[in-house]
Amino acid sequence: MDSLTHAALGACLGEIMLSKKLGKRALLWGAMAQNFPDVDTVAALWLTPHENLLVHRGFTHSFLFAFLGALGLAWVARRWHKDKPVPWRQFFLFFLLQLGLHDLLDTCNAYTTGLLEPFSAERFSVHLLYVADPLFTMWPLLAFVALLLLKTSHTSRGRWAVAGLALAGVYLGYAVYNKVSVRAQIAASLATQQLPADRFFVTPTPFNSWLWLAVAQADSGYYVGHRSVFWPNTSPTQFTFFPRNQQLLAAATNPKEEIEDLKQFAAGYYTVEQWQDTLVFSIPRFGQMQGWQNPRGRFTFHYFLQPPGIDNKLVMQRGRAKGWSWEAFKAMWRYIFNPPEAKRQETAGAIYRQRQEHVTEL
């Protein structure tokens, strides 16, 4: 999740667990602790972009780091507050909960999180929330603001903190319901259209849990489509085929370690495309740039392989920000609440022919 969401959640937990002994300083400890695992972002200053992809949300987001970090933060906090009646064990449990919650929340996003590092390189994602979802963040954030403004003696402080966390939890449950519903509808659409997909996943589109991206893996590529939770079951899910083009990697002169890092980060879902003279490695799970209105839209995550020397430092940001405007937001809103008109269902053969027609332009 984004830093603001972590800070607000951490402050609410701080109010509940430590405010009686630390006052409003408990809010600051909570906000800081919730963001502590993201200390790995400084590694981008010396790591190459492909190395940083796996370091971010790697060891510092593991259960082992949560335990070690809680030990260290508890030691610092206890020395800092020598005059306060807070036992070391209470500080330790507080920080362990904060760091563990951070790690589990980050698994709700598409990025993936290395919970078991350094014992396992497996990374986890349950695809429940976009990295920034206002309807999830607003409840703990409102509570955070109220806690900053209210006096420490105010009797409603605890209720604000509990309400902020509880409503965020309710929204998380709502996102689970949305995902289960959309996933069932996507499975039905794939079966109806007789698309030979081996496996698929759904993940929320930017800033909401109403419109979902579906990526279904076939033998040589992916069927990509969007579906809203508000569409009736009779509304079709329209898929676009993107070939994997794995053979294009043979033209890449990048170091083997770079290609392997990208493949590991992609977790089996990637495409390779030629944009004029540029060879590009894309990962579909981060979605497309306004793909709901442009089914052929480029994928948000695109890493330049060839020619050498192209800057990839902003590989996670450049696609997310591109193309957004007030008009784009309104178009997404209309798409969420107005399903596309039912068209003749494309046969599997028709979609397969897209493989030969798939042309991208720089």
**349, pLDDT greater than 60:** no
pLDDT at 197: 84
Per-residue model confidence (pLDDT) at position 359: 41
Taking only the tens place, the pLDDT of each residue in 52-80 is: 999 999 999 999 999 999 999 999 999 99
**Residue 196: which pLDDT band, with cuts at 50, 70 and 90?**
confident
CB 350 within 8 A of CB 264: no
**How confident is residue 362, by pLDDT bands cut at 50, 70 and 90?**
very low
Q: How many residues does the chain have?
A: 362
What is the per-residue pLDDT across 244-282, written as a single tens digit (0 to 9) for each?
A: 999 999 989 999 999 999 999 999 899 999 998 899 999
DSSP 134-153: HHHHHHHHHHHHHHHHS-TT
Q: How confident is the model at residue 342 (pLDDT cuts 50, 70, 90)?
A: low
For residues 43 and 106, what is the distance between their CA atoms, to the nearest angstrom? 18
Q: Is the pLDDT of residue 225 over 90?
A: yes
Work out the angle at residue 1's Cα, subtended by the Cα atoms of residues 135 and 3, and round it to the nearest 5 degrees: 100
User: DSSP E strands: which ranges in the chain?
Assistant: 199-204, 211-217, 221-228, 240-243, 271-275, 278-288, 299-306
Looking at every residue in the chain, the average pLDDT score rounds to 91
pTM above 0.85, yes or no: yes
Spans of all domains in the chain: 3-175, 193-357
